[in-house]
Structure 1
Amino acid sequence: MTQLVDTYGEDVQVQFIHNPLSFHDNAMIASLASMAAARQGKFWEFHDTLFANQQALDEPNLIKYATELGLDVEKFKTDLKDAEIKKKVEADQAASVAVGQTGTPGFFVNGTLLSGAKPYEEFKTIVDAELTKVNQLIAGGVPREKAVYASMKKNNDKVFNLLIRNMPAGKAKPAPGEDKSLEVWKVVVRGDEPSKGPANAPVTIVEWSDFQCPFCSKVVETVNKVHEEYKDKVRIVFKHNPLSFHDKAQLAAEASMAAHAQGKFWEYHDVLFANQQALDRANLETYAEEVGLDMEKFRAALDQRTYEAYAKNDAAQAADVNASGTPTFFVNGRLLGGKSFDDFKTIIDEELEKTQKLIDKGTSADKVYEKIISKGKVFSPLEDKVNSISVDGSPSLGNAPAKISIVEFSEFQCPFCSRVGPGLKEVKKIYGDDVSITFKHFPLNFHKEAFGAAVASMAAHQQGKFWEYHDVLFNNQKALFPADLELYAQQIGLDMEKFKQDINSEALKAKVNKDMAEGSRIGVNGTPSVFINGRKFSPPGGYSAESFQQAIDKYILKK
């Protein structure tokens, strides 16, 4: 959050909504204390102190932090017991539940949900898109505040009403067909995953997790309690989703499967979560010895990356049900919002009643789960809508028409756009003449040098060197002023007289504007935006070569 505020300044406002979870003993009083600090103008200082001391949030420590920050301690103590502050926190909780955000952390960017721990780049992509929309409204004469509210209301009317207009949560009841908690996803269980409980249990809980994720470790105790309480009525299945920004998570996942091969997954699982800050290769071997594994077999599995593909297959399955963050739980295919025992209990009890009815009607116990998810939802990173996109005159790799047509709307000042190119180059290597990759311009108006860079790249295109120039621009995103653009043109050997003429060409400026208009027509509102065979491509894990290949093989080539 600090990085976002530093980057965007007054264009971003961060609003903190309290959602203290019931299984975190001191979370409620910490929320109350932060609001008591807010009354003395020091919410964010207190906020930072609390997050730096998460293991010490009882009342004496809260008073200690208030003293250290120079608060009026007597007033702080009085406010800590104030019913109005408690009412505010409880209202935040109710609003969070009403908008479906029963776990933490959860973020809404102008109403667009980002659930779970996410890297800065994912926030930036959404913020940039929202700024584009809001700035377009302002440019059309809409006052700034009304433009912001209009965008938020369009994105998520419920969030706008509850969290911004502060309407009572009780007024926000889901309309018929809107209750997402009842949706069933097609969460496939292969049968070879680590699991607890009988295969024919009436309720199957599938968890996607990451051994380096701090939120995943916090729910271990709750999952164990569910297992203890429901015994043979529940099967708990563990699937891997090592997140790309957790550098030790992939190897830890592979190590856990090596332990699974020796019948000790859960023992090893518990040790990993108890030691999340020490997951390098040497530590993984130490833990393997501690739980009594055959070390020769264990080391061989890690050396040979025996379970690398297994863990990646689990992650690919997560994408099929849009489980992009960790931990993510599905109970008989239904996405679980909160992570407290009561949250689990509510949905488990509902599912036990449902499955008993199926059994009473003749479905055998070992077929219940299969029947429940048989018509479940499957997430597709490709939209159903097929857009007609002109590629005439645009820079392309490969010849159209190709079996696979990829069109990227991008701009040279967008940091996230620079990460798409390497993946697309790998795609070209993989599919060769079967793929064409076309670049179309969509310079965002708050990136002041982006339009000029777009025109300059088209000037390079006039001399057959668009892609060379494209790479130089993305490698120098902080230096895209006119003098820089000429320097790069010289470096790649362009005819400088022609280049200088072309960068002032009204025809090339018109081409960039035409790309932007076409992008707006088909719903592009931020960069990068990618279309495969006319269908918008929105992979949960970003535009990696792997995500492109998975989508192309599955949805285009039908492999």
Structure 2
Amino acid sequence: MKIFSSSLAVTCIGRVGLVASVAVLAACEQRASRLDKASTQPAAAAAAAAPSSSVPGGLKIDRSGSVEQQLARLQDAYDRNAEVLDLLNKELARSKEQQAQQERDMPAPDAMFAVDVADDIKAGQVDGPATAPVTIIKAFDFACPYCQKVSGTMEELVKEYAGKVRVVYANMLVHDVARPAHLASCAAARQGKYMQFKDAFWDKGFGPYASSGGQNASSLGEDNLLAIAKGIGLDADKLKADMASAECKQRIEHDIQELNKFHVSATPTFFINGKFVDGALPKAQFKALIDEQLKQVEKSGVSGADYYNKVVLAKGEKQFRSKTDPKTN
């Protein structure tokens, strides 16, 4: 899985072979959080300012004797430390390669990615009107804490922008324990209650799982999912049948395949009118990005109802481009 280490956003990264289920939750925050930045800065500053007792206070070169004697001492020191120097050179080379790989993994800042979410919209995995000029795609996993944390923000943005923003929810399965919940959300959408199920699940499905530190996954299982469905007025028998259907299984896989084209490997990941946003942001930063896109839509002269199809999909890039890749016409 790819991690953009220079980003401060919060995401959940897939892990294979976790030692304990609690690690599923603990592993989700792989980088410093922009949501928690204010609380971590003072501690970081204090650590940086603290003196280190492990660093020698003033190493001096012995300059006594002739030039030949000084050179001999330097050669002797080099010979004695050749193994260490070789190790340092290898670590430096490895660090440079890692940095280069990170650059290759970072999306081009000028890219507009044409993520096709037509099937998600048709399935009902959307909040907000079709005429909204700004489309936010949220790639998420139902077992990701920061996906849950930012869920309320997405709904607030749709309400506050009153017809100008819609959020399309794309399944990005990172933790397999969440697969039943994603299937259930597809089944709920087939009964016209995708948003109601999603909100109820975060509270009654993910909530108990998170409270257990990821040790008790029973609230993510079918029995509880059916209970949640009944609680919001869904036909539980139909939901169970649809969860097992080929259509819902294909719905999940289709989302994952589409997101893989754009190197989405962590959740949450967002696309705001095609603009890649890696991880959860504070609400104010989301609003700044939305406002920027509203200006671009107005400047384009294309109606809000047509903008995603005629501009983002028609003119956007059909696959991932990193910041190191040249833009092609």
TM-score computed with the length of structure 1 as normaliser? 0.40
* Aligned residue identity for 1:272: F
* Change in 2 beyond 3 A, CA 1:159/1:327: closer
Question: Distance between the aligned counterparts of 2:298 and 2:30, measured in 1?
Answer: 39
Corresponding position: 1:222 with 2:183: no
Question: What displacement does 1:182 show?
Answer: 2.7
**SS state at 2:228 partner:** helix
Counterpart of 1:189 in structure 2 is: 117
Q: Do the aligned residues in 2 keep the contact of 1:216 with 1:326 (CA within 8 Å)?
A: yes
Question: Distance between the aligned counterparts of 2:269 and 2:310, measured in 1?
Answer: 22
Question: What displacement does 1:366 show?
Answer: 2.4
One of 367, 376, 401 as aligned partner of 2:316: 376
Corresponding position: 1:147 with 2:90: yes
Counterpart of 2:240 in structure 1 is: 299
**SS state at 2:135 partner:** strand
**SS state at 2:143 partner:** coil
Question: What displacement does 1:320 show?
Answer: 1.5
Question: Distance between the aligned counterparts of 1:201 and 1:348, measured in 2?
Answer: 11
Question: Distance between the aligned counterparts of 1:230 and 1:336, measured in 2?
Answer: 19
Larger radius of gyration: 1
Question: Distance between the aligned counterparts of 1:140 and 1:184, measured in 2?
Answer: 48
Question: Distance between the aligned counterparts of 1:352 and 1:291, measured in 2?
Answer: 35
Q: Do the aligned residues in 1 keep the contact of 2:144 with 2:267 (CA within 8 Å)?
A: yes
* Aligned residue identity for 1:352: L
Q: Do the aligned residues in 2 keep the contact of 1:20 with 1:31 (CA within 8 Å)?
A: no
* Change in 2 beyond 3 A, CA 1:17/1:283: closer
Question: What displacement does 1:157 show?
Answer: 6.2
The percent identity for this pair of structures is 29
Q: Do the aligned residues in 1 keep the contact of 2:107 with 2:276 (CA within 8 Å)?
A: no
1:318-364, Cα deviation, whole Å (9 max, x unpaired): 112211111111000110135221221121111111110112xxx33
Report the number of matched residues. 243
Question: Distance between the aligned counterparts of 1:32 and 1:251, measured in 2?
Answer: 41
Counterpart of 2:3 in structure 1 is: none
Q: Do the aligned residues in 2 keep the contact of 1:20 with 1:28 (CA within 8 Å)?
A: no
Q: Do the aligned residues in 1 keep the contact of 2:186 with 2:243 (CA within 8 Å)?
A: no
Correspondences of 1:275-314 after superposition (within 5 Å): 275-276=205-206, 277=209, 278-314=219-255
Structure 2: segments with no counterpart, 5+ residues = 1-15, 17-28, 50-81, 210-218, 322-329
Counterpart of 2:66 in structure 1 is: none
Question: Distance between the aligned counterparts of 1:251 and 1:159, measured in 2?
Answer: 33
Question: What displacement does 1:257 show?
Answer: 1.3
Counterpart of 1:366 in structure 2 is: 305
Q: Do the aligned residues in 2 keep the contact of 1:336 with 1:344 (CA within 8 Å)?
A: no
Counterpart of 1:199 in structure 2 is: 130
Correspondences of 1:258-273 after superposition (within 5 Å): 258-273=187-202
* Change in 2 beyond 3 A, CA 1:256/1:198: same
Question: Distance between the aligned counterparts of 2:246 and 2:224, measured in 1?
Answer: 17
Question: Distance between the aligned counterparts of 1:319 and 1:334, measured in 2?
Answer: 16
1:73-105, Cα deviation, whole Å (9 max, x unpaired): xxxxxxxxxxx52887xxxxxxxxxxxxxxxxx
The alignment yields a C-alpha RMSD, in angstroms, of 3.3
Corresponding position: 1:85 with 2:13: no
Q: Do the aligned residues in 2 keep the contact of 1:181 with 1:336 (CA within 8 Å)?
A: no
* Aligned residue identity for 2:34: L
Question: Distance between the aligned counterparts of 1:157 and 1:380, measured in 2?
Answer: 17
Question: Distance between the aligned counterparts of 2:271 and 2:102, measured in 1?
Answer: 24
Question: Distance between the aligned counterparts of 2:317 and 2:98, measured in 1?
Answer: 22
Q: Do the aligned residues in 1 keep the contact of 2:133 with 2:303 (CA within 8 Å)?
A: no
Question: What displacement does 1:21 show?
Answer: 2.5
Corresponding position: 1:253 with 2:182: yes
1:369-413, Cα deviation, whole Å (9 max, x unpaired): 1233223223379xxxxxxxxxxxxxxxxxxxxxxxxxxxxxxxx
Corresponding position: 1:237 with 2:168: yes
Question: What displacement does 1:298 show?
Answer: 1.4
* Change in 2 beyond 3 A, CA 1:20/1:249: closer
* Aligned residue identity for 1:301: D
* Change in 2 beyond 3 A, CA 1:247/1:297: same
* Change in 2 beyond 3 A, CA 1:249/1:183: same
Question: Distance between the aligned counterparts of 1:188 and 1:17, measured in 2?
Answer: 28
Question: What displacement does 1:156 show?
Answer: 2.2
Correspondences of 1:90-109 after superposition (within 5 Å): none
Name segments (4+ residues, structure 1) moved above 6 Å.
Answer: 139-142, 157-160
Question: What displacement does 1:290 show?
Answer: 0.6
**SS state at 1:199 partner:** coil
Q: Using CA pairs below 8 Å that are at least 6 residues apart, which structure has the higher relative contact order?
A: 2
Q: Do the aligned residues in 2 keep the contact of 1:207 with 1:237 (CA within 8 Å)?
A: yes
